[in-house]
Structure 1
Amino acid sequence: MLTRRSFVATGAMAGLSACASVTRTAAPAPVPAAPPAPPPIPPLPAFYGAITDEPFPVPAIPEGVLPPEYWRQEVDNPYKGHAYGTIVVDPDEALLYFIESDDTATRYGVSVGAAGFDWEGTARLQFCRKWPRWKVPASMIERQPELAPYSVANGGMDPGPGNPMGARALYLFQNGVDTLYRIHGDASYRELGKAVSSGCIRMLNQDVIHLHDRAVHGSDVIVLPAIKPKGLSALY
């Protein structure tokens, strides 16, 4: 006989059975969208090919590794009011501008001084050298004693492959005094856009040869203040 009590108990058990039979399936985690592939790097201009008429070989820049923003190119002059031949370096953007006119400039990609080694101000382009010797300053030898054989007293390092000054160097002076900072070649294409040197402005050899051939003796070289933080260690 189904009593009220047994009916309630049976109903409760049925309710529990119904609850126990319901399972909750977790919603699948959303799959993040794959980031868009970077656009392919277009073929390099011919002037980044190998240079074979120099005292030492200048190898070609490999294809597909140098972003166009660091290619040598003529651009609108962002620094109006400066004389022809003025050089302006923007360390945050890792770009060097050679002023052509109030309207145009030739822009080059560079690497700049690492944290603690950067330099800023206005200097004078005192002179230039082809395939310069690397004469290591005493301050660098204090940090890297293994460079002592290439000190000023020892005559420096012979030019050529392996010399971090590369194919050309532009020497910066202030008030007739050598700042010990240079614009020079032998930058790796991997360095462009980065802060890697002991204050010097490093360029691809193809670009520093082009700049050297057009540089104006006695012109201003303006290195703007760096604002962005830098975290890489200095090399040369």
Structure 2
Amino acid sequence: MSDKRQLPLWQESILLVVTAMVMAVIVKAFLVQAFYIPSGSMEPTMLVNDRILVQKVSYWGGDVSRGDIVVFDDPGNWLTPEESRHPSNAVQRTLEVFGLFPTGGHLIKRVVGVAGDEVKCCDSTGHLTVNGTSLKEPYVLDSSLTHDLSFEVKVPKNHLWVMGDNRGNSADSRAHLGDPGGGFVPTDNVVGKAWVRVWPWNRAGLVNYPETFNALNNSKQ
């Protein structure tokens, strides 16, 4: 039996590069994708130009949970032209396609209400309520700004109600109450759940999720 003929080095190199690119596309599509934070709407949890990894495994056959920080496609002109920007040069745009450069053109917010929830602002203590439960939100930059806009909504099927942690500077669901979609985000628009901050190095690490929504998520509400 003769030995298998080895490919020339240049052919092996091309094969390795193509294989790596295919694997990168698969990882981006099904597992993990890189994003950058375009605005200060999620301060202090996320800062402008933070680089994060968003994991998609949590939503394989599962639902988005209250309290999740999610990246989602713009549901209808929520983003300004500056926030919608994509990489400016060809190399970065190519890397973006393969998930090797942080993606732009998306939003990141915290899920406050899921389908069927009644979300209200605010109770007598100035806190949001979900299904009558008052929320204590330690992640909010300035909790006194939460009750600047009163509202009471019921989240429709297959939709989410999302809000930024920087309540005084977040054009979230509240800001789009009068839009055709009523400020709700279709669950199909969700790309994934914020998982790890990879840049800057001094703040790198897993994204922290406080216990604010644990009781609600564990109940039948």
TM-score, normalisation: structure 2: 0.29
Structure number with greater CO (CA < 8 Å, separation at least 6) is: 2
Larger % of helix: which? Answer: 2
Which has the higher Rg, Structure 1 or Structure 2? 1
